[in-house]
Amino acid sequence: MKPKQQRLILAILALVAVVGAGLLAAAALRDQAAYFYTPSEAKAATITPGEAARLGGMVEVGTLRQDADGLTILFSLTDGKASVPVRYTGIVPDLFAEGSGAVADGQFNADGTFVAEKILAKHDERYMPPQMGEMPEHLTDTVVDGGAPVAPTAAATAPARAPGQ
């Protein structure tokens, strides 16, 4: 085999490998990518229970309930038009609260409740899932207020955080 032929074979190998990987990746993406839904979209779409999904919206005021085990919470995510019940077991992020934005990663179960495995809450304006930027302004709270030092709120200094009160 001449060097030239060997080079051609290598080039073809590389091309086949890269194109093959791209095709395989695309096929895997079709199965594994999680779609992002707002509550209204989730209500309108038919989502197979157990399929990975993301749900983003505002934690509806008055819906946050603590389960007796102290670890599971139930709440609804809303976009102002529709709301979806969510269940989550674990430690919620620090800024998770009624009336502020959150994104839940998980899947729907058979009775239409969204079972979250991970919750992202809106931090300040520098940290939020991109989808939340499209929500109306009043749904998201900003923490930093024009550079003026913010007085610690009672909720922040007292470690007690009684959901639902």
The residues of the shown chain that bind another protein, judged by CB under 8 A, are: 1-4, 6-7, 10-11, 13-14, 17-18, 20-22, 24-26, 28-29, 31-36, 52, 54, 66, 68-71, 89-92, 94-95, 105, 118, 123-124, 126-131, 133, 143-144, 147-150, 152-153, 156-157, 159-162
Q: Which of 93, 103, 104, 100 is nearest to 143 (CA)?
A: 100
In angstroms, give the least distance from the CB of 138 to another protein.
19
Q: Which is nearer to another protein, 5 or 111 (CB)?
A: 5
Distance CA 12, CA 139 (A): 54
Which of 51/111 has CB closer to another protein?
51
Neighbour tally for 156: CB within 10 Å: 12
Determine whether 104 is exposed, middle or buried from the number of CB atoms within 10 Å of its CB (0-12, 13-18, 19+): buried
Q: Which is nearer to another protein, 29 or 110 (CB)?
A: 29
- Least distance to another protein from the beta carbon of 159, Å? 4
**Of residues 14 and 61, the one with the C-beta less far from another protein:** 14
Question: What is the C-alpha to C-alpha distance for residues 83 and 32, in angstroms, rounded to an integer?
Answer: 25
CA–CA gap between residue 124 and residue 132 (Å, rounded): 12
Annotated binding site for heme: 123, 127
Annotated binding site: 123, 127
